[in-house]
Amino acid sequence: MENNNKKQPIRQLIDRETGELIDIFEGDRVQIISRKQNSAIKHSIKGKELNEEIKYWNEELGGFIFVLFKYCDLILNEHPEIKPEDITKLFYLATYVDYNGNLIYNNRYMTKECMMELLHIKQRQFDTFFKKMKDSEIFLYKNKTIKINTNYFIKGEITKEIQLHSGYTRLYINAIRFLYDNVKITKHHQLGMYFKLIPYIHRQKNVLCHNPDSYESDIKLMNVKELKEKIGYHRNGIRKFINELLSTKLKNGESILVSVRNDPDEGKSYIIFNPRIFYGGNFNIQEGKTAIMKCFKTIN
């Protein structure tokens, strides 16, 4: 016998794509969402997921500071007296900055004596380095207190003004300190050149390119030949530079960069930088974080 108590729909909608009839019963509420609204909702959900992922990434890597720069201009290029090995020292010391720009060690203001000890260099080398930093106003030295100029390094929030007018990326504290303490001092020049290239690193994909603030689909990769011309190395010099960096490892055994080659011409290979050292995006790319990190997978 037919059940006459079964609720009957008060209205039906039809899905024009599938032809399916959708029953609407008394008390049901139907919300019509436009294609544009639906896209915005999906975008918002994805944004929250990406923010959570980069938040976890930042915490996993021991926190970070920001380095500021001008896109497509070798870092600190306005100070030719500052050599790549000086930049290696500077990046290491910058990981000790507090939210007010002070250099802090063991919960105390860092002194010059403490700084020299941390850098593992002799007095004469230290005096030369410190003078360069002070004369260029990267270090602000007053009443024996050393600050880092916030036009170069910041711990904390990036202002809207900086977002509009500067390039910036995160420097991950644990990785920078590990590299300084474990890379031979004879390689600090190459490591400094590695840092100088940050303004040419794509914000999301961490690949060396000509347009680092572009959409993923618009990236113009910079190959090794073009890099050689950019930093003024000769052919053998650029090969040695890349090989030494390929052999430089993080604590987990990953290289600090990889060279990807899909052409018989060695000079047309391109370079991806390990985002465990510096990264300015939120993995908003096809395949997300996996797209980058699969290149650094270590083989036991």
First to last CA, the chain: 70
Rounded to whole angstroms, the Cα distance separating 92 from 82 reads 15
9, part of any domain: no
DSSP 103: B
Write out the H or E segment, with its range, that includes residue 101. none
209, part of any domain: yes
42, part of any domain: no
Cβ–Cβ under 8 Å, residues 259 and 279: no
Q: For residue 41, what pLDDT is reported?
A: 47
Amino acid at 60: E
**pLDDT tens digits, the chain, 300 residues: what are they?**
455 566 777 777 766 666 677 777 777 776 666 666 655 545 555 556 667 889 999 999 999 999 999 999 999 999 999 999 999 999 999 999 999 999 999 999 999 999 999 999 999 999 999 999 999 999 999 888 999 999 999 999 999 888 888 899 999 999 999 999 999 999 999 999 999 999 999 999 999 999 999 999 999 999 999 999 989 888 788 989 999 999 999 999 999 999 988 777 776 789 999 999 999 999 999 999 999 999 998 644
Write out the H or E segment, with its range, that includes residue 172. strand 167-172
Question: Could you read off the pLDDT of 28-49 as tens digits, one per residue?
Answer: 776 666 666 655 545 555 556 6
Domain count, the chain: 2
101, part of any domain: yes
Domain hosting 277: range is 201-300
170 and 129, same structural domain? yes
273 and 208, same structural domain? yes
196, part of any domain: no
Question: Could you read off the pLDDT of 231-257 as tens digits, one per residue?
Answer: 988 878 898 999 999 999 999 999 999
205 and 179, same structural domain? no
Write out the H or E segment, with its range, that includes residue 135. helix 123-135
175 and 67, same structural domain? yes
Q: For residue 298, what pLDDT is reported?
A: 65
Q: For residue 254, what pLDDT is reported?
A: 96
121, part of any domain: yes
Amino acid at 162: I
47, part of any domain: no
Domain C-terminal end among 143, 160, 186: 186
Rounded to whole angstroms, the Cα distance separating 112 from 146 reads 8
Of 182, 213, 217, 215, the residue nearest 200 (C-alpha)? 213
78, part of any domain: yes
Q: For residue 172, what pLDDT is reported?
A: 98
Q: Which residues contact 274 (CB under 8 A, 6 or more apart)?
A: 206, 250, 254, 255, 256, 257, 258, 296
